[in-house]
Amino acid sequence: MPDLSSRQVSQLPPLQAIRVFDAVARHLSFTRAAGELAMTQAAVSYQIKVLEERIGAPLFLRRPRQIVLTEAGQRLAPAVGEAFAILGQAYAAVRGGADGLLCVTTVLTFASNWLAHRLGSFQIAHPALAVRLETSSRLTDFAREEADIAIRSGAGKWPGLEAHKLFDADFTPMLSPKLAASIGGVKEPADLLRLPILDPGDIWWNEWFSAAGVHSHDLARRPGSSMGAQAYEANAAIAGHGVAILTRALFKAELADGRLIQPFDLVGDDGHAYWLVYPEARRNVPKIRAFRDWLLAEIAC
Amino acid sequence: MPDLSSRQVSQLPPLQAIRVFDAVARHLSFTRAAGELAMTQAAVSYQIKVLEERIGAPLFLRRPRQIVLTEAGQRLAPAVGEAFAILGQAYAAVRGGADGLLCVTTVLTFASNWLAHRLGSFQIAHPALAVRLETSSRLTDFAREEADIAIRSGAGKWPGLEAHKLFDADFTPMLSPKLAASIGGVKEPADLLRLPILDPGDIWWNEWFSAAGVHSHDLARRPGSSMGAQAYEANAAIAGHGVAILTRALFKAELADGRLIQPFDLVGDDGHAYWLVYPEARRNVPKIRAFRDWLLAEIAC
DNA sequence: TATGACCCATAAGGAGGCCTTATGCCGGAC
DNA sequence: GTCCGGCATAAGGCCTCCTTATGGGTCATA
């Protein structure tokens, strides 16, 4: 049983009764107030009676053709009206404001290598929507962080969350053409070992070399991959500092314009992928739907 | 079925949920808010969830040790707080204000001949209570007129009203000593007929003369008595313009100081009385109780 | 004067909002 | 590792609040 300690219990009367009173005071009619409130005249009569009994004084005088406010009612009505105006305004602002700001949290690489180029087209399509982009390497907990949508990688199953697959988190070595030329070209996987390996501890290297049939026990091992922070290694690779193992979908542009080359068709895949996720319960929130639809369409291109 | 026409339906979320939100926003704790609201933590959790679903966005972030407001929550909280402050203030003012003003409606004679002398002692006993005195000859309809208490005459039974008997509405002739002396004194009822009869149409005259065994068919008859407007006739009688038929209890002072004399012990009584009445439902309203107790005590003197 | 329209009050009945109890889950602290 | 503090969730029941139906009272019209 809770105690009644902290703060004086305001002991406000039933709020529903006050809302009804507000409508009646504006209309000076039970019947018309009932119309506005979408309830019956009897219900309005009941609520007013409740309020009057709670206050201990009548709020309206029942005259033949109409009702009029008593002195008590006249004192109460303006304040109630103001309070509900504030409430309604704030509520509308929150709905509007919440609709106008979209918080997307994503891993860095996806933001810089994929989203950044295309976000403009989303904002043109939805000029009323402001997008706040946050990057974080940790998984997003929607209950704990303020985010509407997250881009995360994983197996695609999270309880309570709806997930749309964007693309596979595959991996394959990439390097700058200049670096490849420096050793006369990269012809077969083993050639890579003659070059600096960027982030050799990444488990992806091990998996890829195994798949390629290359013995690579001299590479350090780390429990995870650097997925999500590929942008750093990619920059190093473009600068010619070494070979990086990267996800193709994130470097389409670099591969297309020749800043990076993918020497082998062999692509590793540990079953993980990039996903767009959001709480199931919010699946129909307009701004979330807008972003989801836009992003999936872009991915499909 | 009511229609939803007039005014945009504000479509506010459940008000109870907003009240709970207000408390939670102030405490930044479901548990403590539950304490303030005298409900369980589970109920608070439920209401916040309802509100969040209605708004379409979370209002709090659930962090391990505490909760914090989301951006939406931050926007909503101050307005809600303000609205409830206004509401609470107005409500308190109405209760206080209603408690501070007592509207008494009464027949003129009672006000001028009985209440006026003694009201001072009531106001001294209840300095916080302002009394507004209204006189009206009609019966008071508490649903239609703004009154807390009424003094009315009648048989003492009105549905929905509580009535306390003040004194009988008896009647007996009164006149000024000087007028009586002008005919050598009033020895027996028939002597009165040699003097001007004030308001001879009053049914009381007829009844009294009948009871006195005096034939008085020359008096005009009117359906009712002038009870409630006796003050006018009393003034005329004091001025020596004639004989009035009056209620003893209302002219104790005049009889005591000799401005009026009551020549005969014979007193008419049609069963009516003066009553103090108020709506049953308000029997325990402090100001009503105060006035009732005071008046009954004064009457008992 | 009778009749209909309008408006509020009241009674009876039922649906559902809302609260409670009980329990689970999670993170942090000792 | 275990306990503790705090929120979430499920099940169940009360009681508020709404609806339908009806009555009373006043005003307007015939």
B43 closest-nt by C1' vs CA: C19
Using one digit for the tens of pLDDT, what is the confidence trace for B200-254?
Answer: 888 888 889 999 988 866 666 655 556 557 888 898 899 999 999 999 999 998 9
Structural domain contains residue A8: no
Domain that holds residue A232: 172-256
Do B147 and B276 have their domain in common? yes
Do A25 and A67 have their domain in common? yes
Do A211 and A243 have their domain in common? yes
B34 neighbourhood in chain A, CB within 8 Å? 2
Inspect the interface and report whether the beta carbons of B19 and A15 lie closer than 8 Å: yes
Do B289 and B164 have their domain in common? yes
Do A282 and A221 have their domain in common? no
pLDDT at residue A113 in the model: 86
Do A180 and A159 have their domain in common? no
Report the CATH number that the domain containing residue A186 is assigned in CATH.
Answer: 3.40.190.10
Structural domain contains residue A197: yes
A88 neighbourhood in chain B, CB within 8 Å? 10, 12
Phi, psi of B67 (to 5 degrees): -115, 155
pLDDT at residue A218 in the model: 67
- How many Cβ contacts (< 8 angstroms) between chains A and B? 169
Query: Which letter does DSSP use for residue A282 in this model?
Result: G
Do B110 and B131 have their domain in common? yes
pLDDT at residue B292 in the model: 95
Q: In A18-169, which ranges are E strands?
A: 60-62, 67-69, 101-106, 130-135, 149-154, 161-168
Strands B161-168 and B149-154: unpaired
How many CA atoms lie less than 13 Å away from B183 in the CB half-sphere?
A: 17
Structural domain contains residue B59: yes
Q: State the DSSP H helix or E strand holding residue A275, giving kind and residue range, or none if neither.
A: strand A273-279
User: What's the start-to-end Cα distance of chain B, in Å?
Assistant: 59
Do B91 and B43 have their domain in common? yes
pLDDT at residue A223 in the model: 55
Do A123 and A247 have their domain in common? no
Strand D nucleotides, any atom under 7 Å from protein beta carbons: they are 5-11, 16-22, 25-27
Distance CA B134, CA B113 (A): 14
pLDDT at residue A176 in the model: 96
Q: Is A260 exposed, middle or buried (0-12, 13-18, 19+ CB in 10 A)?
A: buried
pLDDT at residue B202 in the model: 82
Angle at B291 between CA B287 and CA B296, to 5 degrees: 150
pLDDT at residue B123 in the model: 93
- Three-class DSSP category at A185: coil
Do A123 and A181 have their domain in common? no
Structural domain contains residue B10: no
Write down which residue in A95, A119, A143 finishes a domain: A95
**Which has the closest alpha carbon to A123: A301, A296, A295, A299?**
A295
Q: Please state, for a pLDDT cut of 90, what percent of chain B lies above it.
A: 48
Q: State the DSSP H helix or E strand holding residue A278, giving kind and residue range, or none if neither.
A: strand A273-279
Write down which residue in B79, B97, B115 finishes a domain: B97
Structural domain contains residue A198: yes
pLDDT at residue A178 in the model: 95
Look at chain B and report how many structural domains it folds into: 3
**SS3 for chain B, per residue?**
CCCCCCCCCCCCCCHHHHHHHHHHHHHCCHHHHHHHHCCCHHHHHHHHHHHHHHHCCCCEEECCCCEEECHHHHHHHHHHHHHHHHHHHHHHHHHHHHHHEEEEEECHHHHHHHHHHHHHHHHHHCCCCEEEEEECCCCCCCCCCCCCEEEEEECCCCCCEEEEEEEECCEEEEECHHHHHHCCCCCCHHHHHHCCECCCCCHHHHHHHHHHCCCCCCCCCCCCCCCCCHHHHHHHHHCCCCEEEECHHHHHHHHHCCCCECCCCCCECCCCEEEEEEEHHHCCCHHHHHHHHHHHHHHHC
Do B109 and B92 have their domain in common? no
A102 neighbourhood in chain B, CB within 8 Å? none
Write down which residue in B77, B97, B117 finishes a domain: B97
Mutate to test the interface with A, among B86, B101, B144, B278 (most CBs of A within 10 A): B86
Distance CA A93, CA A52 (A): 33
- Structure-token match 């009367």, residue found: A13
Do A181 and A235 have their domain in common? yes
Structural domain contains residue B266: no
Widest Cα–Cα separation across chain A: 104
Structural domain contains residue A266: no
Which regions of chain B are under pLDDT 50?
Answer: 1-10
Which regions of chain A are under pLDDT 70?
Answer: 1-10, 96-98, 137, 216-228
Task: Work out the minimum CA distance from B290 to partner chain A, whole angstroms.
Answer: 15
Structural domain contains residue B233: yes
Q: Strand C: which residues have Cβ below 7 Å from it?
A: A 1-2, 29-31, 41-42, 45-46, 48-49, 62, 65-67; B 14, 16-17, 20, 38-40, 42-43, 46-47, 50, 64-65, 143, 160
CA of A27 to C1' of D9 (A): 43
**Which has the closest alpha carbon to A221: A201, A236, A207?**
A201
Query: In this structure, what is the dihedral angle of CA atoms B101, B153, B248, B265, given to the nearest 10 degrees?
Result: -160
Residue nearest to nucleotide C17 (CA to C1'): B14
Tokens of residue B77, six digits: 């909280």
